[in-house]
């Protein structure tokens, strides 16, 4: 892929800190966007051009609707960015059933179901030599599971393992799976946990820098973005 101009890309979690930063760059580069969120108000405030689609990823059928929206809007699908996610803090033994269910539903099962829904359209994109991709953001915790974030780390490690294995399968089909594993990034995610409270953390990366690195990797044909791919000079 040498350019994103004219590529049909679905951004899941486009109202978030990383999703919105990625969507802005993609729009500037001429991609045709389908932007997912939960809130119309937040989506309109972004002012990023695209087709808007709303769903709660706790709904297991959500992925089918997102792919259908992208196909309705642009007639094809060349890439998917999974930038939705939730975090929780606190001792592993204190995590509630509800929080564990939400972490796994949004962070792991959502992207897994979405890949299944998107595969037929991505196969068509591969046949048309459009270099389709499916990008996940498991984050550094999938490499280095973190105390007081055990359930979050586990949900992200599940996502990373799924991506590695599915990526081997889909490589034969010409579909690129990319897992991005940046460290702490200043999106405000840590201030919106579904449980617990974040410890004090050192300053994280600038979301615009992380988004730029991710989009550059897509264009350059990279297949993996480990934590080391996000250099310290990106830290705020």
Which has the closest alpha carbon to 138: 161, 113, 165, 119?
161
Rule CB under 6 A: choose which of 3, 38, 96, 101 binds ligand NAP: 38
Q: Locate tokens 């270099």: which residue? A: 131
Rule CB under 6 A: choose which of 6, 40, 42, 236 binds ligand NAP: 42
Q: Is 111 among the residues that bind ligand NAP (CB under 6 A)?
A: no
Q: Is 18 among the residues that bind ligand NAP (CB under 6 A)?
A: yes
- Rule CB under 6 A: which of 117-156 touch ligand NAP? 137, 139
Is the Cβ of residue 125 or residue 187 nearer to ligand NAP in the bound state?
A: 187
Rule CB under 6 A: choose which of 195, 204, 225, 234 binds ligand NAP: 204
Query: Which region among 3-11, 82-90, 124-132, 215-223 touches ligand NAP (by CB under 6 A)?
Result: 82-90
Here the tokens at position 146 are 């973190």
The radius of gyration of the chain from alpha carbons, rounded to an integer in Å, stands at: 17
Q: Is 8 among the residues that bind ligand NAP (CB under 6 A)?
A: no
* 136 within 8 A of 179, measured Cβ to Cβ: yes
Q: Is 71 among the residues that bind ligand NAP (CB under 6 A)?
A: no
How many Cβ atoms are within 10 Å of 94's Cβ, its own excluded? 11
Instruction: Give 112-177 as a DSSP string.
Output: HHHHHHHHHHHHHHHHTT---EEEE---GGGTS--TT-HHHHHHHHHHHHHHHHHHHHHHTTT-EE
CB of 3 to ligand NAP, least distance (A): 25
Q: How far is CA 176 from CA 86, 136, 179, in A?
A: 25, 11, 10
CA distance 220 to 16: 24
Q: Is 66 among the residues that bind ligand NAP (CB under 6 A)?
A: no
Is the Cβ of residue 122 or residue 137 nearer to ligand NAP in the bound state?
A: 137
Is the Cβ of residue 67 or residue 106 nearer to ligand NAP in the bound state?
A: 106
Q: Is 50 among the residues that bind ligand NAP (CB under 6 A)?
A: no
Using CB under 6 A, list all residues that contact ligand NAP. Answer: 13, 15-19, 37-39, 42, 56-58, 83-86, 106, 137, 139, 182, 184-185, 187-189, 192, 204
């Amino acid at each position: 892929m040498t350019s994103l101009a004219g590529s049909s890309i679905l951004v899941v979690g486009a109202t978030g800190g990383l999703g919105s930063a990625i969507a802005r760059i993609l729009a500037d580069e001429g991609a045709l966007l389908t932007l997912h969120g939960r809130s119309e108000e937040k989506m309109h405030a972004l002012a990023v051009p695209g087709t808007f689609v709303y769903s709660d990823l706790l709904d297991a059928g959500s992925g089918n609707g997102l792919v259908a929206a992208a196909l309705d809007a642009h007639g094809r699908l060349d890439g998917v960015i999974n930038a939705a996610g939730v975090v929780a803090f606190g001792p592993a033994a204190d995590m509630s059933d509800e929080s564990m269910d939400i972490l796994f539903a949004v962070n792991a099962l959502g992207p897994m179901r979405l890949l299944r829904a998107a595969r037929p359209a991505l196969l068509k994109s591969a046949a048309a030599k459009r270099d389709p991709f499916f990008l996940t953001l498991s984050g550094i915790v999938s490499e280095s599971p973190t105390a007081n974030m055990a359930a979050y780390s586990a949900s992200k490690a599940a996502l990373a393992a799924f991506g590695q294995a599915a990526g081997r399968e889909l490589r034969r089909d010409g579909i690129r799976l990319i897992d991005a594993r940046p460290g702490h990034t200043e999106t405000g995610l840590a201030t919106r946990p579904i449980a617990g409270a974040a410890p004090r953390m050192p300053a994280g990366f600038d979301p615009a820098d992380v988004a730029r690195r991710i989009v550059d990797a897509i264009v350059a044909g990279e297949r993996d973005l480990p934590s080391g791919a996000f250099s310290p000079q990106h830290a705020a």
